[in-house]
A = this chain, B = another copy of it.
Amino acid sequence: MINWNNLDTLASYQELLKADRVNLKEVMTGESGAERVKKYSVPMAEGLVYNYAAKQVDDAILTDLAKLAEEAQLVEKFEELYNGAVINTGEKRLVLHHLVRGQLDKTVEADGVDKRVFYTSQQQKIAEFAKKVHAGEITNAAGEKFTTVVQIGIGGSDLGPRAIYLALENWAKKNGAFKMEAKFISNVDPDDAAAVLNSVDVAHSLFILVSKSGTTLETLTNESFVKDALKKAGLNASDHMVAVTSETSPLAKSDDYLTAFFMDDYIGGRYSSSSAVGGAVLSLAFGPEVFADFLDGAAAEDRLATNSDVLKNPSMLDALIGVYERNVLGYPCTAVLPYSQALSRFPAHLQQLDMESNGKSVNRFGERVSYETGPVIFGEPGTNGQHSFYQLLHQGTSIVPLQFIGYRKNQMETDVVIQDTTSQQKLCANVAAQIVAFACGKEDENRNKNFEGGRPSSIIIGDQVNPRTVGALLAHFENKVMFQGFVWNVNSFDQEGVQLGKILAKRVLAHDTDGALKVYSDLLNI
């Protein structure tokens, strides 16, 4: 039987609070550090490795974390989730993003439908559509091929698909998989849509309108913007637009679209990159085979998350170490630092994934929790960050745990040798050096040049950013966030804080305001 208990009621958590702290600088120095790097490493899917040698843990803490995993029934809860329990208690919904990319156990039936069949059929529909577009069987009215795809969506309909597109764009160009350029319109700021429309050839562009409910104001506004532009170009908007939406939305059967691909309420926005939300744009940009590889990488990582041995379950281990840092060590933020330009927007996606999922103050039953939940997440790619905010990470008064990501090979296979090493070697040398510098510091009599160390980090190491490794990386973080939500006993799958803004903005637009809101509205001439 599954028990949903608050973290601070668990005996294993009380033990963890009392456990001896690890002196990171000490254990990471010299031979001891070398042993830790070899020992504190877990294989992930697709050849990735999660290495946590430079985290403030040792065998005793790991034992306590294993007990916590067991007492909090993390693997059992995950099993309930992927087998179709109503895990999203706020909105009374199933949580099925794992099913979209494969299946861990039996299929799930909901609303009288075999959901595996439903998701697979949408993938096939997208694949056929994309192939026809690539083959010139679906064209504009003049019979010319579409060359660009533009995604119109916000939040989860934008950040994840955009981050993955950017991650794979150059890989696809190098590996003959690049079919169409993709662009993204998200912000209700009219300059966002205008700038994207100015940068594309609308006559050869296909627009994907993504809104689960079919009512997201930003997205519908941007759709009108695009329709105006198509009309001004003398084009028929419905020849250029497809919808990704739920079957019950007003968009589902509209004549305004060439076709519609469906998702459902069981896949939250920030978890929807694996669904039609990511599937349509990525299949059009890179071909359905690339998208299928991406899903396979994610599914392989999901399987690892079912392992009840915490030392063989990288996302669960990562989650537990994060809880230890947040609740026992008291660190309020985490930085995500990919040493790959291809992952430039991956931190922005993880920021949504993590902060929207676990930025909660009440537990699954609506009761205020008395411990910290989700941390602030931020990050930029290295080495850029090294020349920027790393100063605070090294010498600031706050300690910020770090999540590095590094790859042995670059994507484009062009490189240059300067001072006897390639750029890729310099990139890797930097990430390795940073991990050790953060942990061990560097003593100097000049206090200004003194580094105290003791700043924890982990690293995910892979061979290359490609469809399978990106899938595995994404699933790792989705599962990490899910496990942390289980530990904190919060519902990681609703987002009432996002809903609130929508309601209030409508009041302002209806001039139904008083007090401060009225004065701010006046200041902004609304």
**Does A37 count as interface, using CB distance less than 8 angstroms?**
yes
Could you tell me the distance in whole angstroms from the C-beta of A61 to the nearest C-beta in chain B?
Answer: 18
A159 to B434, CA, bound (A): 21
Q: Which residue of B lies closest to A378 (CB)?
A: B378
B residues less than 8 Å from A435 (CB atoms): 516, 520
| B376 engages A416 (CB within 8 Å) | no
Contact between A397 and B372, CB atoms less than 8 A apart: yes
For A175, what are the chain B residues with a Cβ–Cβ distance below 8 Å?
none
Smallest Cβ distance from A65 to chain B, in angstroms?
21
A191, B340: Cβ atoms closer than 8 Å: yes
Is A297 located at the chain interface by the 8 A CB criterion? no
Whether B362 and A448, one on each chain, are in contact in the complex, defined by CB atoms closer than 8 angstroms, is yes
Point out the residues of chain B lying under 8 angstroms from A495, CB to CB: 391
Kindly list chain B residues whose C-beta atoms are within 8 Å of the C-beta of A194.
Answer: 170, 412, 414
Chain B residues with Cβ below 8 Å from A187 are 341, 381-384, 427
Separation of A33 and B515 alpha carbons in the complex (Å) = 6
- A72 on interface, CB distance cutoff 8 Å: no
Asked if B391 contacts A508 (CB within 8 A), the reply is no
Determine if B416 and A505 form an interchain contact, defined as CB atoms under 8 angstroms apart.
Answer: no
Assess whether B372 is in contact with A427, with CB atoms less than 8 Å apart: no
A140 on interface, CB distance cutoff 8 Å: no
- A154 interface residue per 8 A CB criterion: yes
Binary flags per residue of A460-486, CB closer than 8 Å to B gives 1, else 0: 010000000000000000000000000
- Contact yes or no, B339 A189, CB < 8 A: yes
The answer to whether A524 touches B436, judged by C-beta atoms less than 8 angstroms apart, is no
Residues of B within 8 A of A158 (CB): 384, 387
Interfacial residues of chain A within 390-426, with CB under 8 A of chain B in the complex = 390-398, 400, 406, 408, 410-412, 414-416, 418-426
Given contacts A191-B340, A393-B497, 14 further A-B contacts (CB under 8 A): A28-B516, A37-B523, A187-B381, A190-B423, A192-B341, A195-B341, A217-B426, A221-B416, A270-B388, A352-B389, A355-B391, A419-B509, A428-B524, A437-B501
What distance in Å separates the Cβ of A194 from its nearest Cβ neighbour in chain B? 4
Residue A521 is within 8 A (CB to CB) of chain B in the complex: yes
Contact A392 B376 (CB under 8 A): yes
- Given that A190-B410, A400-B376 are known contacts, is A351 also in contact with B509, CB under 8 Å in the complex? no
Chain B residue numbers with a CB within 8 Å of A425 are 509, 526
A389 close to B351 (CB less than 8 A)? yes
Q: Indicate how many identical chains form the complex.
A: 2
**Chain A: interface residue count, which band?**
35 or more
Interface residue A494 (Cβ < 8 Å from any Cβ of B): yes
Is A201 on the interface with B (CB-CB < 8 A)? no
Knowing A188-B423, A228-B416, A359-B396, the reply to whether A154 touches B387 (Cβ < 8 A) is yes
Q: Is the CB of B37 within 8 A of A509?
A: no
- Contact in complex: B397, A429 (CB < 8 Å): no
Residue in contact with A189 in the complex, picked from B357, B380, B381, B420, CB distance below 8 Å: B381
Is the CB–CB distance between B397 and A500 below 8 Å?
Answer: no
Closest Cβ–Cβ distance, residue A258 to chain B (whole Å): 22
User: What separation, in Å, do the CA atoms of A381 and B194 have in the docked complex?
Assistant: 16
Docked pose: A37 CA to B342 CA in angstroms:
44
> Is B519's CB under 8 angstroms from A422's CB?
no
Closest to A404 in B: B520
Residue on B with the closest CB to A193? Answer: B423
Measured between C-beta atoms, what is the minimum distance from A134 to chain B in Å?
A: 21
A361 contacts partner chain B, Cβ-Cβ < 8 Å: yes
Of the listed stretches A10-18, A46-54, A93-101, chain B binds A46-54
B341 near A189: Cβ-Cβ < 8 Å: yes
Contacts of A448 in B (CB 8 A): 90, 362, 366, 491, 494, 496
A132 at the interface (CB under 8 A from B): no
Q: Are A390 and B433 in contact (CB under 8 A)?
A: no
Binary contact track A322-343/B, C-beta < 8 Å → 1, others 0: 0000000000110000011110
CA distance A76 to B477 in the complex (A): 49
CB atoms of B524 and A362 under 8 A apart: no
User: Which residues of A, 131-177, contact B by the 8 Å Cβ criterion?
Assistant: 154-156, 158-159, 169-170, 173
Q: Is the CB of A395 within 8 A of B360?
A: yes
Across the interface, do B423 and A496 meet the contact criterion of CB distance under 8 Å? no
Report A209 CB to chain B, min CB distance, Å: 14
> Which parts of A15-31 form the interface with B (CB within 8 Å)?
28-31
CB A438 to nearest CB in B, in angstroms, measures 10
Other-chain contact of A497, B38, B431, B451, B500 (Cβ < 8 Å): B451
Q: Once the chains are docked, how many angstroms separate the CA of A193 from the CA of B424? A: 12
CB distance from A8 to the nearest CB of B (A): 13
Min C-beta distance of A395 to chain B, whole Å: 5
Q: Which residues of B contact A408 (CB under 8 A)?
A: 524-525
